[in-house]
Structure 1
Amino acid sequence: MKLYNLAALTEQEYRNLLRRSETDITEHFPLAMEVIKRVREEGDKAVLDYTLRFDGVSLEEKGLQVTEKEIEKAYEELDNLTGDTLQYAAANIRKFHQQQLPTEMWVKEIDDGLLAGEKVTPISDVCLYVPRGKGSFPSVMLMLGIPAVISGVPRIVVCTPPAEDGGIDTATLAAAHIVGIREIYRIGGMQAIAAVAFGTETIPRCRKVIGPGNAYVNAAKRLLYGVLDVGLPAGPSEAIILADKLADPHLVSLDLLIEAEHGPDSASLLVTHSEELAQKVTRLIPELIQKLPLEKRRFVEKVFNNYGGIVLTAKLEESIRFVNDYAPEHLEILTSDPFSLLPRIKNAGEILLGPFTPVTLCNFLLGPNAILPTGSFAKTYSGVSVHDFLKRSSFGYVTPEGFARVKKEAIHFAEVEGFWAHAMAVRERAALFSY
């Protein structure tokens, strides 16, 4: 397990640590451009061809769209424990996101006779991208679908990659049933992003696509930016545990494994000014790794050899500075008084406080959204929320008296910027109505 002494790092070593597994997606641009061009020109045929080529799945028999019967069957066949768990998680996620809903409309008299306000409207159609990758992700369906439904989006489309037999993961379909989503397409990858960007004979064009994906998906999103809204950047999973000498080394070690098991390109770091804690965690991690299945062990070992490990600082203030510079997707604070540090954390997708709030809970069922910005984008982006599915329009109304009051300033401002038609519209309006 790597140990980084922060004070001893060169500038380049520090930058490399901050970069984590930052993938240069531009290497995938040529293939993504080919896929986008063919899907735009050939529609369903290209989508089917690429699904066979990239996923090894023929959809000629099943078709691109999941049937209502398949969705209902998945929900009915779900075992009781999984069904109850999904329902409980959905209830909590729903409660949290309901609190985010803004006022539908507000108006304020900015000055006498000058009224201005905003109205909020849901986006007309949105595609939720639910990956399949290394496993089943019904949690992503809940995290994307629930805020979309709460926001009132009229048309919600889901794209998710098929299994080898062309079917869709049962738990993911059941989660869609719980959320109330019925329009699902069994496609993923670059071809899915291109399909919703332009529309095909079967798949509708959408104004926005949102959801995590691999480097190929992100390459297609980057190239299609401007054709459709591609949402927040969500790449490989990452987490920091910020801990002091009072943290339980066993809990710290357990929680370091959470993000590390996502895949070899994940990042999982302990940041601490306690050398004693660092040493204890270093000894514990190898023991805990052995308790994982072989595939997960391999992931974790690669993470701790590449983008994970322990960052040892001189003091708590230095640890906090590093956290804000790194801007992690998940931040877990295991200190004597975690709430006291909350105001000092400026950059993190989510902040989990105390020993009973592991990432596991927030990933699945605490309520906050688990689709979060990665790769330092927590410095400028927030996690998925109802706001991702809404747009604001400002409006204004000026009374005759208000117009008379501000006409002089309006004309002058227009002339300062050289907009003579702007000025004329006010000047002649004032003359026409004797104001």
Structure 2
Amino acid sequence: MRIERVKGELKSLRRSVEMIDPSVQSSVKEILSDVKQRGDEAVSQYTKTFDGADLSSFFVTEEEKQAAYEHVNKDVLRAIRQAAENIREYHARQLEQTWMMTKDDGTILGQKITPLDSVGVYVPGGTAVYPSTILMNVIPAQVAKVERIVMVSPPNAEGKLHPAVLVTAHELGVKDIYKAGGAQAVAALAYGTKTLEPVDKIVGPGNVFVAAAKREVFGHVDIDMIAGPSEIVVLCDDSANPSYVAADLLSQAEHDERASAIAVTTSNALAENIRDEVERQLQQLPREAIARRSIESYGAVYVAETLAEAVEVVNQLAPEHLEVMTKDPYLLLGKIKHAGAIFLGEYSAESVGDYFAGTNHVLPTNGTARFSSPLNVSDFTKKSSIISYSKQALDQNGPLIASFAREEGLEAHARAVEIRTKEGEV
């Protein structure tokens, strides 16, 4: 793991948004077009080709959900239930209300909050088993009161989904679970098939084919985001425990060899200790090969002259996850502008947020925390403006509105106001 002093243009530290390979994009377009035309037949064919599963039905039965409980550890089930409670409690505070205001001239203005009719949740499958993905995507949609929530996930060669995935979905009351993954599942959600009605929005992570498919269908339906590789930045001073810092850096490095794990500190001694501790812990990881490639390619410890400069580095990086391990992390909170999630103090490991605390782990990556937010309840609602203008208000403001319209060369706009006012009377 390299150690570098902060110098020069800080923006050069930020990772650029990764582009999807044109060949992948081309393949995805073919799959989307095929599913759009042939529906279930195409989905079935791609499921057999890519997942090795020959299915007569895509839908998970109630019997399959119940049977899954026999294969889930009781402690895992307890964790799922408690995490769900924490996540629901946190997201309930995000729910916005419809409101209206009345002005002195009788004008009524407001904003109407309406939940989306339907949402599709993509859950990775195969070697990736992420029941936490279900919690983080389904619960905000339920809090928003989305009427129909559909879950899709690629099956194994036996045509089954992982028990923990089924149990989590069942615990949340998700009834429509569809055994399909990849671009073909995204196409089915976007365009619909004989057995699956289309949805209004698609959320959830996936591989590069899923990301490319979501990008292609955006506009026909809404999507959450195009997620890049995982990122973590640990901002620390000489009070930080290097073992904790190293462990948290590796918690993201083990995700993906493209994951980014960076520490920013004001202490040369701590930088060296972090580097040594990362190497020591790396050798004990089951996923050492993946984590090592991540650390070697995208891992670093940056040494800043002052804490203020270190915070500036963090804001330039705009990381997905930011941990603050300093003597008083709350003193820095107001100075941190760009981060998907901010973990304060040495006991706030990133893993706590990933699974259990209640905050959402679907976060902006690739520096997009500069303008994006974590997945939240508002992502599953839409807003409509409410306008009720009184005669008094139109008589008073009509000339101003008409002059504005004529300035833009829109005479009919002006006349639509004037026909209702004294100026429009014949």
Shorter-chain TM-score bucket reads over 0.9
Q: Which residue of 2 aligns with 1:390?
A: 381
User: Quick one: which amino acid aligns to residue 130 of structure 2?
Assistant: F
Q: Aligned runs of 1:128-277 on 2, under 5 Å?
A: 128-132=121-125, 134-277=127-270
Is the CA contact (8 Å cut-off) linking 1:25 and 1:218 kept in structure 2?
A: no
Q: Which residue of 2 aligns with 1:6?
A: 6
Gaps of 5+ in 2: none
Calculate the TM-score normalised by the size of structure 1: 0.93
Calculate the TM-score normalised by the size of structure 2: 0.95
Q: Does 1:97 align with 2:97?
A: no
- Displacement of 1:363: 0.2
1:32 to 28, 33, 36: 28
Q: Which residue of 2 aligns with 1:74?
A: 68
Is the CA contact (8 Å cut-off) linking 2:17 and 2:228 kept in structure 1?
A: no
Is the CA contact (8 Å cut-off) linking 1:113 and 1:403 kept in structure 2?
A: no
Distance 1:14 1:411 in 2: 47
Q: Does 1:88 align with 2:82?
A: yes
- Displacement of 1:133: 5.5
- Displacement of 1:72: 2.7
Gaps of 5+ in 1: none
1:53 to 39, 49, 57: 49
Distance 2:84 2:390 in 1: 47
- Displacement of 1:167: 0.6
Is the CA contact (8 Å cut-off) linking 2:395 and 2:422 kept in structure 1?
A: no
- Alignment identity in percent? 37
The farther-off stretch of 354-363 and 128-137 is 128-137
**Cα RMSD, aligned residues only:** 1.9
User: Quick one: which amino acid aligns to residue 424 of structure 1?
Assistant: R
User: Quick one: which amino acid aligns to residue 2 of structure 1?
Assistant: R
Q: Does 1:370 align with 2:361?
A: yes
Distance 2:289 2:42 in 1: 36
Per-residue CA distance 1:357-399 (angstroms, 9 max, x = gap) = 0011100010000011111111111111111100000111112
- Displacement of 1:22: 2.9
Q: Which residue of 1 aligns with 2:304?
A: 313
Distance 2:354 2:127 in 1: 16
Matched residue SS, 1:429:
coil
- Displacement of 1:24: 3.4
Q: Does 1:42 align with 2:38?
A: yes
- Displacement of 1:195: 1.2
Distance 1:94 1:43 in 2: 35
Query: How many equivalent residue pairs?
Result: 426
Residues 230, 403 of structure 1: alpha-carbon distance in 2 compared, 3 angstrom cutoff: same
Distance 1:210 1:38 in 2: 22
Distance 1:211 1:238 in 2: 17
Is the CA contact (8 Å cut-off) linking 1:241 and 1:331 kept in structure 2?
A: yes
- Displacement of 1:166: 1.2
Q: Which residue of 1 aligns with 2:410?
A: 419
Q: Aligned runs of 1:96-135 on 2, under 5 Å?
A: 96-103=90-97, 105-110=98-103, 112-132=105-125, 134-135=127-128
